[in-house]
Amino acid sequence: MANCPICGKDMAQTGSMGIMYRAKATGKRTTIYVCPDCGQLCGEVEFGNAKAYENLLNMKENISDKTILDYVESILKESEDFRNGKFNLPEKKEKANDEYASVFVTSENGFEGYKITEYKNVISGEFVFTSELFKNGSAETADVVNAEFSVKMYEAKQKALDNMKKRCAELGCNAIIGIDYNCIMLSSSMVGVSANGTAVNVEKI
């Protein structure tokens, strides 16, 4: 068995994980194989984990396979878009009946036009969901299952974030900074997701 195309580990020793990748430029579907560690690393990048993003970004320089490089660059870009675009401070509350609409969130260390008046505590929110993705060995159906898994991951991140916003509000805070995500395979079909950040109070400058 070949070495992992991302980290170079011998997959005869570590095992391998197949990932279905559809190239955006051509639409061509390809199953790429990496070691389990790099498979989990890529998954954490897709979850928006900032540390995993930095690790994969550093490893990218050693990737020579063009297909693998395209895949890695695509999830790095998606992670950037998610972290930079998803957690912008809203100008006003859109839903007055949303219990936690007043809790602002960002992956950065602060909000433009606002100052932090109190750092309260490091907090997290968790959510666990099940998926059959890793039980299905058919390349023909993997693309469909992967799409469903991506939807579940997105929903899990939102629920983990909601749980963290609840804890923030319970602490009497109105914002969370430095948000990132972690995921862990609890079993062959169960995935745990956690959102992490620092609860703070902010006020407009």
pTM metric for this prediction: 0.52
CA 165 remoteness from chain centre: 17
* CA–CA distance, 69 with 57 (Å, rounded to integer): 11
Q: Considering only CA atoms, which of 146, 151, 144 is closest in space to residue 17? A: 146
Q: Which of 42, 39, 62 is nearest to 52 (CA)?
A: 42
Confidence at residue 143, expressed as pLDDT on a 0 to 100 scale: 45
pLDDT at 95: 42
pLDDT of residue 123: 95
- Please give the full DSSP string across 137-187, using - where no structure is assigned: --HHHHHHHHHHHHHHHHHHHHHHHHHHHHHHHHTT--EEEEEEEEEEE-S
Q: Answer for the pair 178, 198: CB distance below 8 angstroms, yes or no.
A: yes
Domain boundaries, the chain: 11-84, 87-204
> Residue 123 forms beta bridges with which residues?
197
Query: What is the topology classification, in CATH, of domain 87-204?
Result: Translation Initiation Factor IF3 (3.30.110)
Q: Phi first, then psi: give them for residue 92, nearest 5 degrees.
A: -155, 165
Q: What is the pLDDT of residue 107?
A: 85
| Size of the chain in residues | 205
Q: How far apart are CA 115 and CA 5, in angstroms?
A: 44
In whole angstroms, what is the distance from residue 62 CA to residue 115 CA?
41
Q: Provide the pLDDT for residue 145.
A: 47
Q: What is the Cα–Cα distance from 37 to 17, expressed in whole angstroms?
A: 9
CA 17 to CA 1: how far, in whole Å? 12
Looking at residue 188, what is its pLDDT? 66
Sign of CA dihedral 157, 63, 178, 192: positive
Longest Cα–Cα distance in the chain: 59
Q: List average pLDDT for each run of 10 residues in the chain, which is 205 residues long.
A: 87 78 69 83 74 88 89 82 49 46 84 92 89 51 53 81 90 92 77 90 91
